[in-house]
Amino acid sequence: MAFRIITAFSALALMTLSVPSAFAANDPLAAPAARSDSKTIIIGSADFPESQLLATIYAQALKAKGVAVETKLNIGSREVYMPALLDGSIDLLPEYAGAALSYLDKNATAHAPEDVAKALKAALPKGVSMLTPSPAQDSDGVAVTRATADKYKLKTIGDLAPVASQLVLGGPPEWKTRKEGIVGLKDVYGLEFKSFKALDVGGPLTLSALVNDQIQAANLFSTDPAIAQNNLVVLEDVKNLFPAQNVVPVIATPKINDVVTKTLDAVSAALTTQDLIEMNGRLGNHDSFDVVAGDWLTKQKLN
């Protein structure tokens, strides 16, 4: 999930999106509020470019099939946009199966794509559904520089155990409390780092800090072109801390119909992890979401 940038919109979203008090405690299973009968589908996204790109792809694909759409991009983290989906502020968003499952079910143990998909379907709150997951994945990972990997002979996350106390870990603020973060790194791998530096969501702040040795390990993502560009090493997750992260449309059940299902299933079927890497590279070169999304849809004959 490359070039993720947290912006002031995250704070603004808390004021402009109608998130009821039932979600103040981040209860992902609370009952959804009444949803508008409008035929327009409001598409949201998280606060990083890949999510915004995927939402734009969904919007353009649906619009090409005559579906009325509206977008509310860059809403914030899962702790913000999931309540927005539940309270009717948005109707559809691109999700990552494993991360969504972990948010909804703190005790989830599924890791393989098919197991994660099955568990996520069961965990979704009433009134919310998932469509067919894409084979494309954007997985969490722990990355180090080539120099750090060579110095400490690091190949797996477990190899960090003898040296973690000497290293600073960087990642998004949410990593402090997420199972797929500091909690899991300690519980699953026994890692206790020297300190944790809250940065952006695998974006330029994290990358810069890692490359410049301000941090020595970082949360980066499998579709980030910066990994290869900077000769970084993603440590193997041999204990499956990070579950499969297939891209999947999550949608308010009342907004589902044959056109919506067929359109988004076709997008999911065509999308690959390599596509995400290439499109993220274009975003990093300042191409717009609309242009990158449109070019991909045209190539796939989906618009």
For the cut 60, the answer to whether the pLDDT of residue 146 exceeds it is: yes
Domain that holds residue 252: 41-137+244-300
pLDDT of residue 117: 97
CATH of the domain at 75: 3.40.190.10
Residues 157 and 210 occupy one common structural domain: yes
Q: Which residue has the higher pLDDT, 36 or 78?
A: 78
In a domain, 26, yes or no: no
Residues 252 and 132 occupy one common structural domain: yes
pLDDT of residue 35: 61
In a domain, 170, yes or no: yes
- For 50, residues 6+ apart whose C-beta sits below 8 A from its C-beta are 1, 2, 3, 4, 138, 223, 276, 279, 280, 283
Arithmetic mean of pLDDT, 169-189: 93
User: Residue for token digits 């290293």?
Assistant: 167
For the cut 70, the answer to whether the pLDDT of residue 32 exceeds it is: no
pLDDT of residue 38: 82
Q: What's the pLDDT band for 8 if we cut at 50, 70, 90? A: very low
For the cut 50, the answer to whether the pLDDT of residue 18 exceeds it is: no
Residues 83 and 113 occupy one common structural domain: yes
Query: What is the spatial distance between Cα 234 and Cα 212, in angstroms, rounded to a whole number?
Result: 17
In a domain, 84, yes or no: yes
Residues 131 and 264 occupy one common structural domain: yes
The encoded tokens of residue 84 equal: 């927005």
Task: Kindly report, residue by residue over 74-91, the tens digit of the pLDDT.
Answer: 998 888 999 999 999 999
Q: What's the pLDDT band for 64 if we cut at 50, 70, 90? A: very high
pLDDT of residue 30: 52
- Three-class SS state of 3: coil
Torsion, CA 100, CA 268, CA 84, CA 116, rounded to 10? -20
Classify burial at 105, counting beta carbons within 10 Å of its beta carbon; exposed 0-12, middle 13-18, buried 19 or more: middle
In a domain, 188, yes or no: yes
In a domain, 32, yes or no: no
In a domain, 24, yes or no: no
* pLDDT-wise least confident of 62-71, 150-159, 231-240: 231-240
Helix pair 97-104, 78-86: axis angle to 10 deg? 80
Residues 108 and 49 occupy one common structural domain: yes
Arithmetic mean of pLDDT, 240-249: 93
For the cut 90, the answer to whether the pLDDT of residue 2 exceeds it is: no
Q: Minimal CA–CA distance to 156: which of 242, 210, 237, 241? A: 237
Residues 154 and 193 occupy one common structural domain: yes
Residues 126 and 265 occupy one common structural domain: yes
Average pLDDT, the chain: 88
Specify the number of domains making up the chain. Answer: 2
In a domain, 150, yes or no: yes
Residues 248 and 119 occupy one common structural domain: yes
